[in-house]
Amino acid sequence: MVEKYDTVVIGAGPAGTAAASSLKAQGQKVAIVEEDLWGGTCPNRGCDPKKILYAAVEAKEKADLLAGQGLNTQNSINWADLMANKRDYTKQISPGTHDSLANNGIETINGHAHFVDPHTLKVGQQTIEAQNVIIATGLRPRILDIKGKEFLQTSTDFLDLDEMPESITILGGGYVAFELAGIASSAGAKVTLIHHNNRPLKAFPENLVQTLCDQLSKNGVETVLDKEITEVQEDNASYRVIGNDFDKKTDKVFAAVGRIANVDQLGLDQIGVDYSSKGVKVNEHLQSDVSHIYAVGDSAASPVLKLTPVAGYEANYVVGQILGDHAEIEYPYIPTIIFSLPKLAQVGVTVNRAQEDTERYEVKTVPMEDWITYKRQHEKQPLVQLVIDQKNDQVVGAACLSMEADEMINYLTLLIKHGYSAEDVSQTPFAYPTIASDIQYLY
Amino acid sequence: MVEKYDTVVIGAGPAGTAAASSLKAQGQKVAIVEEDLWGGTCPNRGCDPKKILYAAVEAKEKADLLAGQGLNTQNSINWADLMANKRDYTKQISPGTHDSLANNGIETINGHAHFVDPHTLKVGQQTIEAQNVIIATGLRPRILDIKGKEFLQTSTDFLDLDEMPESITILGGGYVAFELAGIASSAGAKVTLIHHNNRPLKAFPENLVQTLCDQLSKNGVETVLDKEITEVQEDNASYRVIGNDFDKKTDKVFAAVGRIANVDQLGLDQIGVDYSSKGVKVNEHLQSDVSHIYAVGDSAASPVLKLTPVAGYEANYVVGQILGDHAEIEYPYIPTIIFSLPKLAQVGVTVNRAQEDTERYEVKTVPMEDWITYKRQHEKQPLVQLVIDQKNDQVVGAACLSMEADEMINYLTLLIKHGYSAEDVSQTPFAYPTIASDIQYLY
């Protein structure tokens, strides 16, 4: 018997589970299909486990900054304990997510879904029909196509490492590469980060990235730029990473060279839905080429960053569309944060964009080391940049490099969103002295 | 010769310096009088030095929470280093503040000001005349009038202690008492906190205060309630704190039993300006009984909490009044934060107020230990309370107890101020996962 649903969601990550739960709560008959871990990348092998590992990094580095400044301190990361701790958290995610969906009356189906026709999917032997389909299948790490690629590990492996080796090499220059480098170096590994061109983290302001590399280097991270790696060789229990004029021995090699959408095995070709490695092509309603098939989150080629909060936002938007709304999607300001050493974050109009249009935008760079928050914790070179639209003197973008950049960028997101002026900021009595109350020095 | 000014400001703390600088920037001829340290309480012996000492507390306690959870950790506060560090900061405040005012063209006068008539002040031998006067003279610690009061020290002494003694006793149950208790216990002292009734921190929710006392007790702070202390005796190099059925030996005794306004020596009686220990009586324009004499910040008996951000807000308001505005003052939501172990904060309609009007307000108490932020740092019993106005289902107040309560309360201040709904919060993509992104679990 073919079971019929109002909506079938493919992929049970943050986007898929949010959409399925909302539609169910609105009275729809909903099924959700997952072929891997319920809960998806973010809680199983992404943001959450990374942030659990990073908790020890943060505590250690903040204590270390105060050595000789009021703290007698001796800290080292105990990787085995930290990993046990992380696993305690992640082990309950998949069953917990599954049970929560099932308990809410959503049909949960394990397996790989593919389209038979635009309204029909097969999952193993099971055939299901849907009035609407939401594709929320996420991304997977891209494999670098070089000789010895079978020796490369990914961020998924890193976040589940039994032991932190003495030395690791990370190929890549994106946010994952910089986050792994921060965690590994704080945990005591000698880290080499190799990027194929001279502009890692290219979406971020060049001077902040340069300062981040300098800071990481003091923590034992060597950054090698403009270096194409062509081969990885096994060498006893370790590896050799080889490129032109380059040959380095290392205990483990991780590739963090981007991610590709899990949409190539869904049978989209035969139903006329266009897609690429960036995801399903969608319009301003997040509809694919077939109007009742939507894509959300990491697997949609929407013109925004692939982040968990975006996944939730898009899921919520598509729920509205399915239930009868017709407005085009409009994205809010979305902050991004790299949990490296220190943290690097930005929101709104980027410094890079501003530098392309200096008639319109002014960039203001402010060192923060004399601000009470950073002075008290003896942070080195905390920096913030504002992008000011000279048409109306409004702050429309910001970037920040510091151990407090996560919360700083959240405040700036709210202030930019609400169009705060310098006067408004000075008239907003935040608790003093805090990261938020510092912001008055900025405007 | 009698020098004439548009405005004379008495007191060069955060309120006075802000007012003086703004009026000068607007073209006024301004003098400012200070008889003690330029910069006032907050940067010299209040918020800033406290927060510098608290930096080591925060780093130590956060590392300790991760002991056995991923961090091999051994930290102790080095009081001498920490104090040197604090003094490095505070020593430049008074001369720096003075020079900054003088360099801005503000006349700076050292000494005690008192009124000769409503427009004339004497400072030592100097006589000055002013069209407007702003009183911004702050508060001083109240002295407990008991036998042996000469042995009592104050928060000012605590914040400049050369050594942390083995045991200290703190008399009082306000925010200063709880902040000193947190710092001293983290620095290794055995702390006894004695309060004369059974409801310390009575402006805060009773269950959060109870949980704070429980947490402090695990850190070596004994809280003694309902105990009136009647005498302090010297006993060799230490002291005995004596009350009914109570006699305790201790190395140092600090009284943190409230603060009184520095307005009793200004000659206000002879010019017809009413005042009390709470400050100068002011109307809704922050005018005293004599309309061109204003009071701002801690020395104004305005109906709000005496906090640094309030001082700045009131100073800014009075500048507007002097320059010709006429609107009554309206206060924004003002968060308060106690930097104890952990931090306790609140904003907006209080839980206490809500409990008096259960027809209108609902109080929602949410334990946060399963939220990613608190789980990852292994915090014990983090709690948040929301006050919901049932007339429109809006969150109008909040209280929070956790090591992240400072930033949490700042976010809640902004969300309450802008009238966010649960839907709005879920549609605001904060960086994930952060203290701010957690807030979606709350609404």
Residue pair A313/B429 in contact by the 8 Å Cβ criterion: yes
Q: What is the DSSP string of A338-406?
A: E-SSSEEEEEES-HHHHHH-TTTEEEEEEE-TTSHHHHHTT-SS-EEEEEEETTTTEEEEEEEEETTHH
Q: How far apart are CA A279 and CA A136, in angstroms?
A: 10
pLDDT value at residue A43 = 97
Enumerate the residues of chain A whose CB falls inside 8 A of the CB of residue B52: 372, 375-376
Q: Which residue has the tokens 């968060």?
A: B335
> Domain segments of chain A: what residues?
3-141+260-322, 149-257, 342-441
SS3 A431: coil
Domains B3-140+260-322 and B149-257 share a fold: yes
Residue of B193, B179, B184, B194 whose CA lies nearest to B336: B179
Would the CB atoms of B75 and A73 count as touching at under 8 Å? yes
Would the CB atoms of B56 and A48 count as touching at under 8 Å? no
Name the CATH architecture for the domain at B3-140+260-322: 3-Layer(bba) Sandwich (3.50)
- Alpha-carbon dihedral B147, B150, B155, B161, rounded to 10 degrees: -130
Which one of A63, A89, A410 has the shortest CB-CB distance to B436? A410
- Alpha-carbon dihedral B210, B331, A374, B161, rounded to 10 degrees: -60
CATH of A3-141+260-322, one of 3.50.50.60, 3.40.50.720, 1.10.600.10, 3.30.420.40: 3.50.50.60
pLDDT per residue of chain A (443 residues) written in tens, 0 to 9: 799 999 999 999 999 999 999 999 999 999 999 999 999 999 999 999 999 999 999 999 999 999 999 999 999 999 999 999 999 999 999 999 999 999 999 999 999 999 999 999 999 999 999 999 999 999 999 989 999 999 999 999 999 999 999 999 999 999 999 999 999 999 999 999 999 999 999 999 999 999 999 999 999 999 999 999 999 999 999 999 999 899 999 999 999 999 999 999 999 999 999 999 999 999 999 999 999 999 999 999 999 999 999 999 999 999 999 999 999 999 999 999 999 999 999 999 999 999 999 999 999 999 999 999 999 999 999 999 999 999 999 999 999 999 999 999 999 999 999 999 988 888 888 999 999 999 989 98
Q: What is the DSSP string of A119-153?
A: TEEEETTEEEEEEEEEE---EEEPPP-SBTGGG-B
Q: From the CA of A44, how many Å to the nearest CA of chain B? A: 13
In B301-436, where do the E strands start and end? 336-338, 343-348, 361-367, 383-389, 394-402
What residues in chain B have per-residue pLDDT under 50?
A: none
Q: How far apart are CA B305 and CA B286, in angstroms?
A: 15
Which one of B51, B83, B337 has the shortest CB-CB distance to A376? B51
Using the CB atoms, write b or e for A234-250: b if 16+ within 10 Å.
eeeeebbbbbeeeebeb
The 3-state secondary structure of B14-71, one letter per residue: HHHHHHHHHHHHCCCCEEEEECCCCCCHHHHHCHHHHHHHHHHHHHHHHHHHCECCCE
pLDDT value at residue A1 = 77
| CATH number corresponding to B149-257 | 3.50.50.60
Nearest residue of chain A to residue B344 (CA atoms): A431
The reply to whether B175 sits in an annotated binding site is: yes
Residue pair A335/A413 in contact by the 8 Å Cβ criterion: yes
Would the CB atoms of B82 and A73 count as touching at under 8 Å? no
Which one of A89, A310, A406 has the shortest CB-CB distance to B375? A89
Phi, psi dihedral angles at B293 (to 5 degrees): -110, 115
CA A317 from centre of chain: 20
Which one of A42, A60, A70 has the shortest CB-CB distance to B81? A70
Q: From the CA of A386, how many Å to the nearest CA of chain B? A: 18
Mean pLDDT of the residues in chain B: 96
Residue pair B166/B327 in contact by the 8 Å Cβ criterion: no
Enumerate the residues of chain A whose CB falls inside 8 A of the CB of residue B70: 53, 55-56, 77-79, 81-83, 85
Would the CB atoms of B429 and A47 count as touching at under 8 Å? no
Residue of A154, A241, A151 whose CA lies nearest to A192: A241
SS3 B178: helix
B408-432 pLDDT per residue, tens: 999 999 999 999 998 888 888 899 9
CA atoms within 13 A on the CB side of B50: 24
pLDDT value at residue A414 = 93
The residue of A26, A62, A71, A369 whose CB has the most chain B CBs within 10 angstroms, and thus the best one to mutate to test that interface, is: A71
How many Cβ pairs closer than 8 A exist between chain A and B?
Answer: 226
Which pair of structure tokens corresponds to residue A320? Answer: 């509205």
Which one of A60, A332, A436 has the shortest CB-CB distance to B427? A332
Which ipTM score applies to this complex?
0.93
Residues paired with residue A386 on neighbouring β-strands, in sequence order: A364, A398
Which pair of structure tokens corresponds to residue A121? Answer: 């999917």
Q: How far apart are CA B322 and CA A110, in angstroms?
A: 71
The three-point CA angle A92-A98-A99 to 5° equals 85
Q: From the CA of B433, how many Å to the nearest CA of chain A? A: 7
pLDDT value at residue B424 = 87
Would the CB atoms of B437 and A309 count as touching at under 8 Å? yes
Domain A342-441 has CATH 3.40.50.2300: no
The reply to whether A387 sits in an annotated binding site is: no
Q: How far apart are CA B365 and CA B372, in angstroms?
A: 18
Would the CB atoms of B377 and A59 count as touching at under 8 Å? yes
> Cα separations (Å) of A429 from A240, A249, A256, A417, B415?
56, 54, 42, 18, 13
Number of Cβ within a 10 Å radius of residue A440: 17
Residues paired with residue A383 on neighbouring β-strands, in sequence order: A367, A401
Would the CB atoms of A70 and B89 count as touching at under 8 Å? no
Q: Answer whether the bond into residue A342 is a cis peptide, omega within 30°.
A: yes
pLDDT value at residue B9 = 98
Task: Write the single-letter amino acid at B203.
Answer: A
The reply to whether B420 sits in an annotated binding site is: no
Enumerate the residues of chain B whose CB falls inside 8 A of the CB of residue A77: 70-72
pLDDT value at residue A74 = 96
Enumerate the residues of chain B whose CB falls inside 8 A of the CB of residue A332: 427-429
The reply to whether A258 sits in an annotated binding site is: yes
The reply to whether B11 sits in an annotated binding site is: no
The three-point CA angle B143-B149-B154 to 5° equals 50
Enumerate the residues of chain A whose CB falls inside 8 A of the CB of residue B69: 56, 81-82, 85
Which pair of structure tokens corresponds to residue A9? Answer: 């969601």
The reply to whether B174 sits in an annotated binding site is: yes
Nearest residue of chain B to residue A376 (CA atoms): B52
The three-point CA angle A289-A292-A293 to 5° equals 60
Enumerate the residues of chain A whose CB falls inside 8 A of the CB of residue B79: 70
